[in-house]
Amino acid sequence: MANVIILDHPLIKHKVAIMRNKTTGTKEFKEVAKEIAMLMCYEATRNLSVEDVEVETPITTTTCQMLSGRKLAIVPILRAGLGMVDGMLALIPSAKTGHIGLYRDEETLEPVEYYCKMPSDISERDVFVVDPMLATGGSACDAIKLIKARGAKNIKFMCLIAAPEGIKKLTETHPDVDIYCAALDSHLNENGYIVPGLGDAGDRIFGTK
């Protein structure tokens, strides 16, 4: 069964409060999304394997540990997932980035795919799928299905705000995928928006409303 990890560090809580506030403008919203993604990345990479390496310091030679070279990929779900990529790359700069374009049909709330471009060796990589919002879970489930169809096996999903409905759907559909979120909210409203949520993440990141 999937693990659901809620990253309720005080710094993350503080920054989520800024994102929820409707008076927070596009510039700050984008900056804070990046900062939260960086903090979440620190936790979501906790289990990466390391190996011993000999290092010569200015004083002596010593044994240190470095990442053992497992290849990583970050896959944002367009558009809003783009707002989490730079924060992730700040900590894991050698990761490759794939992109999946999905939007929710406003009537049916079903995801509609319009773009998919993955690193050619995605099947060999540990994949972090990122999207600020896990609402009905339709977009995350479809994105992960597309990535699995290309052979990737070790996948984690990272979001800022999750609804219980999305957690249920994602854990049932992809029980092998661990979910990291900064906050677990109350429910979805009649329009499929997360309550209390932060509104439309894509519009707030890109200033399109």
Cβ neighbours, 10 Å, residue 10: 7
- Please select the residue that binds ligand PRP; options are 77, 161, 182, 184, rule is CB under 6 A: 77
- DSSP per-residue letters across 136-187: SSHHHHHHHHHHHHTT---EEEEEEEE-HHHHHHHHHH-TT-EEEEEEE-SE
> Among this protein's residues, is 104 annotated catalytic?
yes
Q: What does 76 interact with, of ligand PRP, ligand URA, none (CB < 5 to 8 A by kind)?
A: none
Among 116, 192, 193, 199, binds ligand PRP (CB under 6 A): 192
Can you name the residues that pair with 96 across neighbouring β-strands? 73
Asked if residues 32 and 19 have their Cβ atoms less than 8 Å apart, the reply is: yes
Least distance (Å) between residue 112 CB and ligand PRP:
8
Nearest to ligand URA of 94, 191 (CB atom): 191
For 140: left if phi > 0, alpha if psi spans -120 to 50, otherwise beta; the answer is: alpha
* Integer Cα distance of 154 and 126 in angstroms: 5
**Of positions 9, 71, 96, 104, contacts ligand PRP by CB under 6 A:** 104
119 forms part of the interface with ligand URA (CB under 6 A)? no
Q: Is 111 in the site for ligand PRP (CB under 6 A)?
A: yes
Q: Which token pair is 189?
A: 């409203």
Is residue 136 close enough to count as binding ligand PRP by CB under 6 A?
A: yes
Report, in Å, the least distance between residue 194 CB and ligand URA: 4
Q: Which two tokens stand for residue 205?
A: 């990141």
Per CB under 6 A, does 197 bind ligand URA? Answer: yes
Q: Which of 20, 45, 86, 200 is catalytic?
A: 200
Burial (CB count within 10 angstroms: exposed 0-12, middle 13-18, buried 19+), residue 111: buried
> Which two structure tokens, joined as six digits, stand for 99?
């992109």
- Per annotation, catalytic residue among 62, 108, 121, 208: 108
- Binding ligand URA (rule: CB under 6 A), the pick from 85, 135, 144, 170 is 135
Nearest to 131 by CA among 87, 182, 84: 84
Q: Which residues bind ligand PRP (CB under 6 A)?
A: 77-80, 102-104, 109, 111, 131-140, 166, 192, 200-202
Q: Which residues bind ligand URA (CB under 6 A)?
A: 80, 133, 135, 192-194, 197, 200-202
* Positions marked active-site: 104, 108, 200, 203
